[in-house]
């Protein structure tokens, strides 16, 4: 008999539009219609040393995207802003634990606005102090690069954290998704899946490919064959 803790994991691919052509974002979203989500990196030039896009652009993208938006907020004061991204039409809103003053209230505000709520953890941040947040979120994002830029090298030392998050989720018998973001490619996705990730952000590996739908299918197949299920 199966229990929630033995439910098979389903691989989900979330291409990051950070690696796409910002002059043609609607078209670039159209190229990933076979993906599960579209990952949108919101950077404020304070929490990370880079600046991308904000609420008005997310609202415009949500109106045309063929897949739901997975917004990754790399911003200060997410307590103030996170729910607005849900209201703008994002299907999932992720904020960093390092930036949030009250992560429980912020997660609840996202869910109250109708989106999935998620917390992100930077490479130098330990997961253990935040384990109690599992009762408040739908996904945990384990960063596999320092947030701020696409195209960086995968940090394999973060796989232990992926494993720890997945084990904590299993112990609770919960269905929380575990996402990895940064340097995820055909070469690294198998190790992420083996460690317990089930949602995979990939920027350069998708938008840098000659055949985008084929790259998405290949990543999904590789993840599926390594999932720790
Ligand atoms: C980095 C961003 C990532 C980035 C990933 O701060 O959070 O989503 O776009 O890009 P790749 O897949 O190229 O490492
Ligand atoms: Zn991201």
Please say if the pLDDT value at position 205 is more than 50: yes
Task: Provide mean pLDDT across the span 135-155.
Answer: 98
Asked whether the predicted pLDDT for residue 6 surpasses 60, the reply is no
Beta-strand ranges (E) seen in the chain are 12-15, 38-43, 69-74, 92-96, 116-121, 139-143, 177-181, 199-202
pLDDT in tens, 109-132: 999 999 999 999 999 999 999 999
Q: Does pLDDT of 52 surpass 50?
A: yes
- Mutate-to-test residue for ligand 1 from 22, 150, 204, highest number of ligand atoms within 8 A of CB: 150
Q: Please, how many CA atoms are within 13 Å of residue 191, restricted to the half-sphere of its CB? A: 15
Atom number, ligand 1, closest to the C-alpha of residue 143: 7
pLDDT value of position 2? 39
38 band by pLDDT with thresholds 50, 70 and 90: very high
Give the pLDDT band (50/70/90) at residue 8.
confident
Nearest alpha carbon, ligand 1 atom 4: 150
Q: What is the mean pLDDT of the chain?
A: 96
Beta strands in 11-68 (DSSP E): 12-15, 38-43
For position 203, what pLDDT does the model report? 98
Distance 16 CA to ligand 1 centre (A): 6
Atom of ligand 1 nearest to the CA of 72: 7
Could you give the residue numbers annotated as active site? Answer: 41, 181
Distances in whole angstroms, Cα of residue 86 to Cα of each of 11, 68, 93, 172, 194: 23, 11, 7, 26, 31
Query: What pLDDT is recorded for position 4?
Result: 44
CATH code linked to domain 12-227:
3.20.20.70
**pLDDT at 22 > cutoff 50:** yes
Name the pTM for this structure: 0.97
Q: Determine the distance separating the centroid of ligand 2 and the alpha carbon of 201, expressed in angstroms.
A: 7
Dump pLDDT digits (tens) for 158-197. 999 999 999 999 999 999 999 999 999 999 999 999 999 9
- List beta partners, residue 43: 74
pLDDT at 7: 59
Strands (E), 97-136: 116-121
Residues with CB under 6 A from ligand 1: 16, 18-19, 39, 41, 72, 145, 147-152, 181-184, 201-205
**DSSP class of residue 41?**
E
Percent of the chain's residues with pLDDT above 70: 97
- State residue 228's pLDDT score: 78
Residue 229 scores a pLDDT above 90: no
Q: Write out pLDDT tens, residues 62-94.
A: 999 999 999 999 999 999 999 999 999 999 999
Residue with token string 């996402």: 179
């Amino acid at each position: 008999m199966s229990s929630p803790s033995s439910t098979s994991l389903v691989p989900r691919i979330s291409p990051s539009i950070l690696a796409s052509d910002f002059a043609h974002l609607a078209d670039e979203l159209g190229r990933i219609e076979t993906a599960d989500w579209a990952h949108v990196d919101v950077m404020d030039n304070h929490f990370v040393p880079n600046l991308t896009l904000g609420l008005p652009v997310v609202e415009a993208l949500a109106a045309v995207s063929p897949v739901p938006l997975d917004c990754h907020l790399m911003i200060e004061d997410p307590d103030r802003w996170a729910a607005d991204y849900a209201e703008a039409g994002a299907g999932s809103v992720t904020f960093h634990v390092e930036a949030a003053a009250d992560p429980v209230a912020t997660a609840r505000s996202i869910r109250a606005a109708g989106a999935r709520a998620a917390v992100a953890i930077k490479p130098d941040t330990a997961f253990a102090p935040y384990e109690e947040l599992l009762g408040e979120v739908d996904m945990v994002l384990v960063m596999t690069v320092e947030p701020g830029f696409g195209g960086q090298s995968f940090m394999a030392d973060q796989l232990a954290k992926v494993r720890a998050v997945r084990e904590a989720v299993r112990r609770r018998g919960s269905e929380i998704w575990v996402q990895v973001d940064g340097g995820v490619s055909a070469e690294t996705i198998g190790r992420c899946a083996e460690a317990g990730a089930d949602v995979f952000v990939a920027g350069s590996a998708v938008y840098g490919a000659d055949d985008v739908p084929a790259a998405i299918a290949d990543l999904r197949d590789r993840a599926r064959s390594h999932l720790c299920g």
